[in-house]
Amino acid sequence: MAKPTAERTSQPAAGVQKLVIEFGPLVLFFLVNWRAGIFAATAAFMAAMVAAIAYSWHSTRHVAPMLWVSTALVLVFGSLTLWLQDATFIKLKPTVIYVFFALVLFIGLRRGRLFLRSLFDQAFPAMEERGWRVLTRNWALFFLALAVLNEIVWRNVSTDSWVAFKTFGVLPLAFAFALVQIPVVSRYQRDETGDD
């Protein structure tokens, strides 16, 4: 079976698929909110997340655990938003998911299970365990910071501004944070010891 070769040759396509799955529902959320308001946008977001799972399974026969968790929370908080006609619930969803991810990483770190490594091991195969521990801690703290930031933003700006922040603010922050972690990756790939 030529699966490894197929995976190697379709890396650009896989990157596009990943972008569509992860960013597509957010863009739709922003556009529908802009045209029809937060409740219509919430319904569209819920449908788009379910579609993202279906698309992921159809194209790769795999659904990332983070996508399952995100979709479940979108459906729960989105349903509460629509049922109670209260946008607070959909605004709380990012806070809950960021805290959830932080707790998973911290608990895994405490128990010697480096979940971040299982997600990104192919990207940094030469990195030693100490590096994975540092990265796990850093990302857990970053998720907590995002949770706090989401709480500050949604409580102090309009719904439209919060939607714009959620759609176009979080991804650049995550990208910038990932860039800041490059020295950690380099340091521990060179088998250096020493304190972080």
The pTM is what?
0.80
pLDDT of residue 95: 97
Out of 24-28, 62-66, 85-89, which region has the weakest mean confidence (pLDDT)? 62-66
Residue 7's pLDDT is 44
Distance from C-alpha of 111 to C-alpha of 196, rounded to nearest angstrom: 20
38 has pLDDT over 70 = yes
The mean pLDDT of 114-121, rounded to a whole number, is 71
Asked whether the predicted pLDDT for residue 2 surpasses 50, the reply is no
d(CA 117, CA 124) in angstroms, rounded, equals 9
Q: How many CA atoms lie within 13 A of 131 on its CB side?
A: 21
Most confident segment among 4-8, 19-23, 179-183: 179-183
Which tokens is 18 given?
A: 């990943």
Contact 136, 114 (CB under 8 A): yes
Q: What is the largest CA-CA distance in the chain?
A: 55
Q: Are 74 and 109 in contact (CB under 8 A)?
A: no
Residue 11 in this model has a pLDDT that exceeds 80:
no
How many C-beta neighbours within 10 Å does residue 182 have?
Answer: 9
Given a cut of 70, is residue 49 above it in pLDDT? Answer: yes
Residue type for position 17: Q
Nearest-5° Cα angle at 54, 38 to 24: 45
Angle between helical axes of 88-110 and 38-60 (0-180°, round to 10): 40
Picking from 155, 67, 140, 152, the residue whose alpha carbon sits closest to that of residue 110 is: 140
First CA to last CA distance, the chain: 43
Residue 139: pLDDT band with limits 50, 70, 90 = very high
Least confident of 31-35, 82-86, 116-120: 116-120
Is 70 exceeded by the pLDDT of residue 194?
no
CA distance 24 to 19: 7
pLDDT band at 106 (very low <50, low <70, confident <90, very high): very high
Residue 55 and residue 31 in contact, taking contact as beta carbons nearer than 8 Å: no
Coil, helix or strand for 187? helix
Structural Rg of the chain based on CA atoms: 18
